[in-house]
A and B are shown apart, each in its own frame.
Chain A
Amino acid sequence: MNEHAQATGYNFAYLDEQTKRMIRRAILKGIAIPGYQVPFASREMPMPYGWGTGGVQVTAAILGPDDVLKVIDQGSDDTTNAVSIRKFFARTAGVATTTKTVEATVIQTRHRVPETALRSDQVLVYQVPIPEPLRYLEPRETETRKLHALGEYGLMHVKLYEDIARHGHVATTYAYPVEVAGRYVMDPSPVPKFDNPKIDDCEALQLFGAGREKRIYAVPPHTKVRSLDFEDHPFRVQTFKDPCALCAAEGVYLDEVVLDDRGGRMFVCSDTDYCEERREAGHRGHLAGDDPLSPVGRGRVAEGDRVREEHKSDSASPSPRPSPHRGEGEEALP
């Protein structure tokens, strides 16, 4: 037992060393075969599955004492989920934590990729509810494994075809399937498809952990990640009509926030850290007061006020649920 363990009663980062080694082996295999889902012996964690136990186990396995941890949930560091995971590692590993993307070395995330470009000394760990992109049309696990092994991905396009046939465009806006390094098709977890281009050719290592489904997969730095599409319906990301109401950022993913009970609303950066950084640098949106610390100006909008469409809760079925984000304008090429 190390010093830390003696002090806290936990092994460093909660999991025992043998378990961490097992998870690291799965991670290494995942890195060696980008986009391939590596089975691993997922452990019980002291939190429910919906809380991202897959991501937590991956984080526990890669965390070192000098790491600085950031946890994002829906773009925010302040949700109950994000706060408890951050506290969990502060307590069990004694690592420093931060809400700033630039300061973090390990970022565990649910539903977003940070707006700030990641660096090669950072690792992004995704919490994944449903890792199998083919499950929507092929529920049999033995068959999906075969389809991956043989690179038979026609079904993914059947899914996109159905989307266009029904809605006139590809209505899948979350967990939008990607082809990794020209080989495996992967579910990038329920991030908005807006974030897909950030997964491509990223400087940072990206790791994906699915606890309930016992799968780990990886996208090594600078890997080609291509969103699937049709020639006559090319992949496009969401764009927003107006810039962030608080920091005036454009070309970022916005959340709708209810301001009052009279229907007042605004669109603000989903990435709260990014928004704050910009306001600290002096950027002002049309609803930001002059005082960067005023309640609205600070942008620390309470979780309950954010209108979040849970396109994919952790237990939801992976069927495409088209409901364009309010305020989304046309879609643009990435």
Chain B
Amino acid sequence: MTSPLLTARGLAKNYGPRAACADVSLDLYEGEVLAIVGESGSGKSTLLGLLATETSPDAGEVHYRFRDDEVRDLLTLGEAERRLLMRTDWGFIRQDATQGLRMPVSAGGNVGERLMAVGARHYGNIRATAEDWLARVEIDPGRIDDSPKTFSGGMRQRLQIARNLVTQPRLVFMDEPTSGLDVSVQARLLDLIRTLVAELGLAVVIVTHDLAVARLLSHRMMVMKGGRVIETGLTDQVLDDPREPYTQLLVSSVLAA
């Protein structure tokens, strides 16, 4: 059996006296979707930031298996290498599209940015690839020169996805990618994410407070409370037969909602 793609051990982050994240360990395999669920303030986004090395931990380690199969400690990686990894082999879809997109730049420029960052210098090819990706995320390629400011919330999220997937990453982090959208828009976006993840065999760590999202997308899930992981397991098992009283509460409140 191949070794995990991403491994975390004993991750911790404190903000002042408060532990935003405490002693979190996990393994993520290629093609696997892991959902991190929990109430607002439970430390989900902090954990995601630690895994994506956007936040430096107070304790713990993150290892990643590169394309050449070499497993490396991400916290000792040089800045240039780390940033290269983030914009080639990784993606990050943010809840707030304005933080995940370059708003003053056209849709095509947003999708093409990563290509240019890794050395693409043929305008026609960059544009053709951008058009292709816009179509794949169900945005009319005719809107390639439009500003994302003119896009709806759902379109912005889909543009973010195209912008991230254009370099064919193996691992994508998502922080509440569907929240704040209308229910029908959410459903369409979730469907698109599920299709792309399956097609591309992506590994995903998705943060959500919405257990329905976790149910639809993830293979495994982790339940967080007060910065700690209190329950982990296969998604269906955790949702259908939660062991921890807190998880039972979480699941039942969703069922009641």
Which of B113, B118, B122 interacts with A231 by CB under 8 Å?
A: B122
- CB of A164 within 8 Å of the partner chain: yes
**Chain A contacts for B108, CB-based, 8 A:** 161, 165
Report the minimal beta-carbon distance from B90 to chain A, rounded to whole angstroms: 16
- CB of B109 within 8 Å of the partner chain: yes
Q: Mark B107-127, 1 if CB is under 8 A from A, else 0.
A: 011001110111001111011
Distance in angstroms between the alpha carbons of A166 and B117 in the assembled complex: 20
Residue of A nearest to B122 (CB): A231
Contact of A157 with B116 in the complex, beta carbons under 8 Å: yes
Distance in angstroms between the alpha carbons of A230 and B109 in the assembled complex: 14
Contacts A137-B104, A231-B121, A231-B122: A158 and B83 contacting too (C-beta < 8 A)? no
Contact of A152 with B117 in the complex, beta carbons under 8 Å: yes
Residue of B nearest to A146 (CB): B79
**Chain B contacts for A137, CB-based, 8 A:** 102, 104-105
Contact of A161 with B109 in the complex, beta carbons under 8 Å: yes
Contacts A137-B102, A164-B123: A152 and B83 contacting too (C-beta < 8 A)? yes
Report the minimal beta-carbon distance from A166 to chain B, rounded to whole angstroms: 7
- CB of A232 within 8 Å of the partner chain: yes
Within 8 A of B (CB), among A273-331: none
Contacts A165-B108, A166-B145: A158 and B102 contacting too (C-beta < 8 A)? yes
Interface size on A, residues (CB 8 A): 19
Q: Mark A138-176, 1 if CB is under 8 A from B, else 0.
A: 000000001000111011011001101110000000000
Contact of A161 with B117 in the complex, beta carbons under 8 Å: no
- CB of B80 within 8 Å of the partner chain: yes
**Chain A contacts for B121, CB-based, 8 A:** 157, 229-231
User: Majority SS of interface residues in chain A?
Assistant: helix
Distance in angstroms between the alpha carbons of A229 and B109 in the assembled complex: 15
- CB of A233 within 8 Å of the partner chain: yes
**Chain B contacts for A155, CB-based, 8 A:** 113, 116-117
Specify which of A161, A162, A230 lies most central, judged by the most chain B CB atoms within 10 Å of its CB.
Answer: A161
**Chain B contacts for A158, CB-based, 8 A:** 102, 105, 109, 112-113, 116
Residue of A nearest to B80 (CB): A150
**Chain A contacts for B109, CB-based, 8 A:** 158, 161-162, 165
- CB of B106 within 8 Å of the partner chain: yes
Q: Mark A29-56, 1 if CB is under 8 A from B, else 0.
A: 0000000000000000000000000000
Distance in angstroms between the alpha carbons of A155 and B83 in the assembled complex: 14
Contacts A161-B123, A164-B123, A232-B122: A150 and B79 contacting too (C-beta < 8 A)? yes
Could you count the A-B residue pairs with CB atoms below 8 Å apart for me: how many are there?
Answer: 56
**Chain B contacts for A157, CB-based, 8 A:** 116, 121
Interface size on B, residues (CB 8 A): 23
Residue of A nearest to B81 (CB): A150
Residue of B nearest to A139 (CB): B104
**Chain B contacts for A162, CB-based, 8 A:** 105-106, 109
Distance in angstroms between the alpha carbons of A162 and B146 in the assembled complex: 11
Specify which of B79, B109, B144 lies most central, judged by the most chain A CB atoms within 10 Å of its CB.
Answer: B109
Which of A150, A151, A154, A165 interacts with B116 by CB under 8 Å?
A: A154
Contact of B126 with A161 in the complex, beta carbons under 8 Å: yes
Distance in angstroms between the alpha carbons of A165 and B106 in the assembled complex: 8
**Chain A contacts for B123, CB-based, 8 A:** 161, 164, 230-233
Contact of A232 with B124 in the complex, beta carbons under 8 Å: yes
Distance in angstroms between the alpha carbons of A230 and B102 in the assembled complex: 21
Contacts A154-B117, A162-B105: A230 and B122 contacting too (C-beta < 8 A)? yes
**Chain A contacts for B126, CB-based, 8 A:** 161
**Chain A contacts for B105, CB-based, 8 A:** 137, 158, 162
**Chain A contacts for B118, CB-based, 8 A:** 154
Report the minimal beta-carbon distance from B189 to chain A, rounded to whole angstroms: 26
Contact of B79 with A165 in the complex, beta carbons under 8 Å: no
Distance in angstroms between the alpha carbons of A157 and B102 in the assembled complex: 14
Within 8 A of B (CB), among A54-109: none
Q: Mark B123-151, 1 if CB is under 8 A from A, else 0.
A: 11011000000000000000011000000
Distance in angstroms between the alpha carbons of A331 and B144 in the assembled complex: 27
Report the minimal beta-carbon distance from B112 to chain A, rounded to whole angstroms: 6
Residue of A nearest to B106 (CB): A165
Report the minimal beta-carbon distance from B53 to chain A, rounded to whole angstroms: 15
Contacts A161-B108, A231-B122, A232-B122: A150 and B113 contacting too (C-beta < 8 A)? no
Distance in angstroms between the alpha carbons of A164 and B126 in the assembled complex: 12
Contact of B116 with A161 in the complex, beta carbons under 8 Å: yes
Distance in angstroms between the alpha carbons of A154 and B84 in the assembled complex: 12
Residue of B nearest to A228 (CB): B121
Report the minimal beta-carbon distance from A178 to chain B, rounded to whole angstroms: 15
Distance in angstroms between the alpha carbons of A157 and B126 in the assembled complex: 11
Distance in angstroms between the alpha carbons of A164 and B80 in the assembled complex: 29
Other A-B pairs beyond A154-B114, A161-B116, 8, CB < 8 Å: A146-B79, A151-B80, A158-B109, A161-B112, A161-B123, A165-B109, A232-B123, A233-B123
Closest 8 CB pairs of A and B: A154-B117, A157-B116, A230-B123, A154-B116, A231-B122, A150-B80, A165-B145, A232-B124
Q: List 18 A-B contacts (CB under 8 A).
A: A137-B102, A137-B105, A150-B80, A154-B113, A154-B117, A157-B116, A158-B113, A158-B116, A161-B108, A161-B116, A165-B127, A166-B106, A166-B145, A230-B122, A230-B123, A231-B122, A231-B123, A232-B123
Interface set of A (CB-CB < 8 Å, partner B):
137, 146, 150-152, 154-155, 157-158, 161-162, 164-166, 229-233
